[in-house]
Chain A
């Protein structure tokens, strides 16, 4: 077809309609926005290339050209996705793009010529159908944006001062603590899509309990003096950022314990400071990334990836741990990179050989990949027991 400028744009928009509707359905089913975001990006990239590049370069576009043009558009799209950090899973995203590309090929070569007699002669212009397609695309994007805004959880402000807990959150909301907001007796998250920001929690059985819910975000929380764990996560997906957990004096509790959430996707602990406790950060049967945290003065292991977990511990600093610094145990698969482990102390009193101040320990068929960790002033740098293995990788990641 020798497309006119308008014909290119109208054909592009018409081909986008079914893909966009599919993406909307997919987004609502997955409860993620990446399909709609990706299609919006596809539309932007496609229209830009149509108007600024393809129209100038191609007075006539043969059918075969859709393959290289599609490849260029996919490349541009992926560059933008990676450049702007859009969180879309790679293969589903490529599958969505391929579906969109295939739809446009089928429509341009078969559907639109059958629908509109003069499609080729009109240079791809669709007349009223083109206008309807443009309106449909705008409405779909506007509807998605409106849905996003409407679905934003309400923000509940927690005023400065001490609030008696335990505080149980039973609806989706953003609990935003004002400066000096303190909850005494703990917080329990009992609903999906809850965010807690800038709140200090003192005491409680656990400081913050997250159990059986999805999409919890804990951002800038401080936990002090819980009876058991600082942040206790079970069967739940969480992102924990910039937290402070003070477990000094608590020899049995864990600073952050994330367990049994393998089916909840990736969880993350990032930028937290944990002092004291038996284990600083521990995961069991979980996929959790542990990034850029500072853990010190623990009595068990500073960071433990345990019980068939898969996880990455990266750019963490561990100091003054008793017994073990980084631990990968019980058939877990661990990637430890760019961590610093300093001054691990031997737990001689325990009489256990694997607690004699080991910076990185792999235990019971665990597989550990190591890359560029700094291990300083530890009695033992590495230890692997019960058929566990270490592997030094040439690159970080899995």
Chain B
């Protein structure tokens, strides 16, 4: 039986698996999940908002190292050096198709299907020298449960006009888009392109920045000060860093300005009588929204702060990690350790630390 387990077969678990494969054979890793295609859930969401290219830049891939990124592959497939030049200038965004091909190639060559155990893990129980996952014992476990579900504002639940942006949908003649992040911005343009009249409802003006979290928070330079914050300060900092945002650029601004001049796009403080309401309001947040994490915290009386499981800077659960065993968290629930944990670079961060722990383990 493998001694290392990854709980979750989405992109965060998949990225972690690629890192683990640097040191372990497929037979030494068990991946628990109900979806064999690691991009399955993401593919549906990207398709729903008609996403054409990735927001992430050169680091937005599932490989264990930052080099080579997807730009090299794009150079070959597009027969142009432009992707490489764009990568150097932080302007390269792989297309969704390129990213999905990359995932498919990695899945095939990494032994992912060999390690996959098609089962949903309901409970993680700490035992002496490891963890029991619904009866199976592992020494080192990485939890990558993914987003706990789509977030629909309380007052809109049950409204027949409402669809979440990440659910497949078409566009009515008049559309209200709730939210102000990248998904919302994408939906504004989609609905306008479909000929709809669009109303944006948002509580705050969106931030305009290239990545969802400023770049220095992707490295120890910004993380060191982040990790020094008190728990309350850290909660507030995460709230600020994860506020809705989308990149600057004419490809966003020009269609909106044109539509505003034509009277087809406007911002309003509250819902009106649109035929369709699209909630571009992201995902439910916090460990309590995830049954596995909520049970884990309750069973082991783990330290929490606000909606967050308190994690060590290396993304491990402090009370359940020592020299002989590791319990780490990757993906959105790990933003306590790494503010951009819900990105592929964030998944890689948790995976790198997890592998370091495994390598350093005396009883490995």
Instruction: List residues of A whose CB falls within 8 A of some B CB.
Output: 1-4, 7, 59-60, 62-64, 109-110, 113-114, 117-125
Contact = CB atoms under 8 A, between A and B. Distances in A.
A273 B335 CA distance: 80
B65 interface: yes
B220 A121 contact: yes
A87 to B, nearest CB: 37
A120 B66 contact: yes
Interface stretch (B85-93, B115-123, B188-196): B85-93
Nearest to B217: A2
A113 B67 contact: yes
B224 A120 contact: no
A60 B214 CA distance: 9
A63 B90 contact: yes
Contact of A118 (B68, B88, B90, B352): B352
Interface in B57-107: 59, 64-68, 87-90
B349 A121 contact: yes
B65 A63 contact: no
A113 B66 contact: yes
A296 to B, nearest CB: 65
Closest 10 CB pairs of A and B: A2-B219, A123-B220, A60-B215, A123-B219, A2-B216, A2-B221, A63-B88, A113-B67, A118-B352, A113-B66
A117 B68 CA distance: 12
Contacts of B218: 2, 120-121
Residue of B64, B66, B221, B223 with most chain A CB atoms under a 10 A cut-off: B221
Contacts of A63: 87-90
Main secondary structure of the interface of B (DSSP, over half): helix
A4 B355 contact: no
B261 interface: no
Contact of A122 (B215, B220, B355): B220
A63 B67 CA distance: 12
Interface in B177-198: none
Given A117-B352, A118-B352, A2 B215 contact: yes
A303 B88 CA distance: 59
B89 A62 contact: yes
A129 to B, nearest CB: 14
Contact of B59 (A110, A120, A124): A120
Contacts of A1: 219
19 contacts: A1-B219, A2-B216, A2-B218, A4-B220, A4-B221, A60-B215, A62-B90, A63-B90, A64-B88, A109-B67, A110-B67, A117-B19, A117-B355, A118-B353, A120-B59, A120-B66, A121-B352, A122-B219, A123-B219
Nearest to A60: B215
Contact of B65 (A60, A64, A117): A117
B173 interface: no
Contacts of A2: 215-216, 218-222
Interface string B1-39: 000000000000000000100100000000000000000
Interface in B305-364: 348-349, 352-353, 355-356
A109 B58 CA distance: 12
Residue of A60, A62, A114 with most chain B CB atoms under a 10 A cut-off: A60
B222 A117 contact: no
Given A114-B67, A120-B218, 18 more contacts: A2-B215, A2-B218, A2-B221, A7-B219, A59-B215, A59-B221, A62-B89, A62-B90, A63-B90, A64-B88, A64-B89, A109-B67, A113-B66, A119-B66, A120-B59, A121-B220, A123-B219, A123-B221
Nearest to B67: A113
Residue of B67, B215, B218 with most chain A CB atoms under a 10 A cut-off: B67
B67 A4 contact: no
Nearest to A112: B67
A62 to B, nearest CB: 5
Contacts of A64: 88-90
A7 B64 CA distance: 20
B273 to A, nearest CB: 45
Contacts of A125: 220
Contacts of B220: 2, 4, 7, 121-123, 125
